[in-house]
Amino acid sequence: MLLAVQSLFAQKLYFSNIPRLNNKAYYNKVIGENAQGIFILRFRDIDMRNGFSVEQYSHNLDYIGAENYNLGKREKLVKIFSTDSGLVLIKSSIFKGKTSYSYIIKGLKQTTPGESVVFYESTTIEKVDKAIEVEYSLNRKYCAVWIEESNKRGDQDFRCFVFSTDGKIVTNTQYHTNYPSEDVSIDQLSVGDSGQSAMIFLLEKSDRKISDAHAEVHYILTTRQNRIHAPIPFGDSKYFIASYDLVYNQFKNNFFIAALYDFKKPKAAHGILEFDFIPGDSIVEPVFSPISRKFVAIVLGAAEADEGKDPENYYIKKIVPRSDGGYLVVAEYFEISQQMETFYLNGVPQISSKSIYNYNDILLFALGNNGTIKWEHEINKMQSSYAGLSYLSSIGIYVCENSVNIIYNDNSNQNNRVIHIALGKDGAIEQKILLNSETEYTAIIPMEGRQIGYNRYVAPLIQNRQLSLLEILNNQK
């Protein structure tokens, strides 16, 4: 049921109720949008042991209906996303044999409610505790499935499937790392609009201390036209990589990595490390762009900047490719701190601790096409909560033609406000209060929201303890 429509500056806001089911708390994640409407994934248990449902809404958030799904005892929903013609659900199933386990990976394309097409079944492996990672392309025409497999020697292998969303297998290949399985893991992956794929895997050297910059080594694996290319290392023992992100650049038809690096500390950021590459490249030359000391003084203060200190505990949230050949890097402060508490049990003092999740300031870096940092901005924000409420922290991001938009809850003074920040191509920042209430609790759930169109963003919204959906339509593009 549509509750309200209002204009706010250059935006329209749509609200819709989410049906209450048995008065139980549900997880709600935005899947995406196509011609049939907007789709929301809902489930009660984090492991989905009681199944899940897919709810359908109109483009203005009128509720249409829901389709319920059950998972078998050894089944797991790995990924769900929308295409132009329907939904794609990626499920894994485990079947135990006498000497091994069989992992059956099924892609189910739902064109109409109740109608599904099985894409493929995959492989037999020796262990079942390995990861399956799935990602799809920006044009939603290709999907990559990367699987960690342990071979008979105990070494790590990677198997990669890339299929088009009409069910055709584009890539089916495997790579042997010759590293022990317990030391190697998939970290990030991306898929190009032509079916090419890139995956970063992490090699952790157990004989090295965390203070050693070479304790972790990152490698890039790429695929194209049913071929997997030799891994490309990035990073070396001269510096630490605190955080990074991998994206496909639709303007250049290549892949790009931005990383925060530092020469002294594992979680610090002296600058940004950049890698541009395409599948088949044998060498990736890094570009180092140090953060200006003037900007460090803004973030840390002049005294700490003069002492040579660098910002710490910042993690890259998103990389936005720009049509001019550059990129926008969005990083957010995150740290888990401990709060000590004393209580008495039978007159005896006891000490316990609680974890506090801190999502604070946002750093913005505009990278030029020559690898330089064109401008830097800091957005002051403070969000602190216990674990049970941390899902209300962090930020939502959506991209328009002329702006990058950031949304978050302002709880610095326990305000019931949702803040919207628009960042122009030239670095101009405009901040507005998107929602504000003096009488009732108001907050979005940014981690469960998603951009569903080039100028549209949908996220779950809590108002007066009731769950609804919020859609932002940006008329300024």
Q: What is the pLDDT of residue 9?
A: 47
Average pLDDT, stretch 248-263? 94
Q: Does residue 451 carry a pLDDT above 80?
A: yes
Structure confidence at residue 112 as a pLDDT band (50, 70, 90): low
Q: Does residue 5 carry a pLDDT above 50?
A: no
Rounded to the nearest integer, the mean pLDDT of the chain is: 84
> pLDDT tens digits, residue range 34-59?
888 999 999 988 888 888 999 999 99
Average pLDDT, stretch 246-259? 95
Out of 199-203, 226-230, 342-346, pick the least confident: 342-346
As a whole-number percent, the residues of the chain with pLDDT over 90 amount to 41
Q: What is the pLDDT of residue 128?
A: 46
Q: What is the pLDDT of residue 13?
A: 86
State the SS3 of the chain.
CEEEEEEECCEEEEEEECCCCCCCCCEEEEEEEECCEEEEEEECCCCCCCCEEEEEECCCCCEEEEEEECCCCCEEEEEEEECCCCEEEEEEEEEECCCCEEEEEEEEEECCCCCEEECCCCEEECCCCCCEEEEECCCCCEEEEEEEEECCCCEEEEEEEEEECCCCEEEEEEEEEEEEHHHEEEEEEEECCCCCEEEEEEEECCCCCCCCCCCEEEEEEEEECCEECCCEEECCCCCEEEEEEEEEECCCCEEEEEEEEECCCCCECCEEEEEEECCCCCCCCCEEEECCHHHHHHHHCHHHHHCCCCCECEEEEEEEECCCCCEEEEEEEEEEEEEEEEEEECCEEEEEEEEEEEEEEEEEEEECCCCCEEEEEEECCCEEEEHHHHHHCCCEEEECCCEEEEEEEECCCCCCEEEEEEEECCCCEEEEEEEECCCCCEEECHHHCEEEECCEEEEEEEECCEEEEEEEEECCC
Average pLDDT, stretch 68-78? 83
CB 258 within 8 A of CB 273: yes
> pLDDT tens digits, residue range 320-331?
999 888 999 999
- Hey, where are the domains in the chain? 72-238, 250-389
Q: Does residue 340 carry a pLDDT above 50?
A: yes
Q: What is the pLDDT of residue 7?
A: 32
Q: Does residue 97 carry a pLDDT above 80?
A: no
Structure confidence at residue 126 as a pLDDT band (50, 70, 90): very low
> pLDDT tens digits, residue range 376-427?
999 999 998 888 888 899 999 999 988 999 999 987 666 688 999 999 888 8
Out of 49-63, 178-192, 224-238, pick the least confident: 224-238
Q: What is the pLDDT of residue 466?
A: 82
For residue 282, what are its two tokens?
């044998």
Instruction: Give dist(CA 209, CA 204) in Å, integer.
Output: 10
Average pLDDT, stretch 134-142? 92
